[in-house]
Amino acid sequence: MDRLTNTVRPYAWGSTTAIPELLGTEPTGEPQAEMWMGAHPGAPSRTERGPLDEVIDEDPARELGPRAVAKFGPRLPFLLKILAAGAPLSLQVHPNREEAADGYEDEQRRGVPVDAPHRNYKDANHKPELICALTPFDGLCGFRAPDDAAELLSGLGVDSLVPYVDLLHAKPEESALREVLTAVLTADPDDMAKTVAAAAAAAERIGGVYAPYAAIARDYPGDPGVIAAMLLNHVRLQPGEALFLGAGVPHAYLDGLGVEIMANSDNVLRCGLTPKHVDVPELLRIVRFEATDPGVLRPVATPAAAAAGTPGGEEVYDTPTDEFRLSRFVLTEGAAAHDLTAGTPQILLCTAGTARAGDIALSPGQSVFVPAGEKAEVSGTGTVFRATVVA
């Protein structure tokens, strides 16, 4: 197995302290938003054998295993991250496989460079993702029921929000959500900035359930995404809880530290809360206009761990995607090592305590890559996350 040296991405929304505190390093004063673990060409992890993407390219069958290569092709299908949000991320949605493939082909045909800032589809893959909280973690996930969104907007007492409230009450769910989000995102920018300012002032004054939106407005004054955010469910995860984000579900992360895993894709459609490219028509084409329960996930012991009845066994975050499978071990002192040997590729990440992956000692924030078929055990104390695939 290979100890990984990982890149930290300095996106503007990143916390300046959360990742350094996890790693036990001094803050630099700059945002440290995401630490990437995997073989994504944008920032591949490094090993003693070379960059992980190049290591895999040299012998995909050996590193990934024949089952994973047959199902997903000759690349690591997932990207694992530590994500540290100190300010809201963009309000966004991800395409499904068909939409991604069509969008990628269209932009290729039109000659849009893959690295162009206005490009939507960097690849032809979908991007389901899972975020698991390491600290209390705030986010937005999926649409509220229209009546609930109307009640929230109405409570601000802002006259210019009344037409949106009326639409939410008058129309069927799909039409109500579509028409209101479209109206918010396509409104005259000056008029919307005034509406956002009035809504933000009211949210600051009222507090309570409005506090998250007041905070968003402080980071993005005048942004229509502030009003769009109020159409979504606000969720606060406690450590160990998780959210799964499927295709078409609008979402944004607001604050906190977590472990994130996703299919190996860069496809994001944004509609606000960002200085990056915003493509409202394309986002409106991709969004699923339906009210959803965010569906907070808690880890469940695997059948083997449940049968063993010993503490510290494997607990899985169940999701409907095969590109990744995230589980965790809450290790206890003196317990026997857990055998993780598998025919699929794995990344093991320590987030608390002191653990061992085989002969490699892991402190918080440290990780290893385990090629398919390689013997792997974890032991020690603390928490270790295991990322692999279903193949």
φ, ψ of residue 280 to 5 degrees: the values are -65, -45
CA gap 136, 129 in Å, rounded: 19
Among residues 270, 325, 328, 386, the one annotated as catalytic is 270
Q: What is the helix (H) or strand (E) element at residue 282, kind and residue range?
A: helix 280-286
Active site residue 270: yes
Structure tokens at 7: 């890149």
| Amino acid making up residue 117 | P
The answer to whether 1 and 376 are in contact (CB under 8 A) is yes
CA-CA-CA-CA torsion for 357, 360, 366, 370, nearest 10 degrees? -50
Grouping H, G, I as helix, E, B as strand and the rest as coil, residue 167 is: helix
Grouping H, G, I as helix, E, B as strand and the rest as coil, residue 32 is: coil
* Contacts (Cβ under 8 Å, ≥6 apart) of 104: 121, 122, 123, 124, 267
φ, ψ of residue 64 to 5 degrees: the values are -100, -25
Asked whether the CA dihedral 257, 259, 265, 270 is positive or negative, the reply is: negative
> At what angle are helices 189-206 and 211-219 packed, to 10 degrees?
140
Helix, strand, coil content of the chain in percent (nearest 5): 30, 30, 40
Grouping H, G, I as helix, E, B as strand and the rest as coil, residue 365 is: coil
Q: Which residue do the tokens 């026997």 mark?
A: 336
The set of catalytic residues is 270
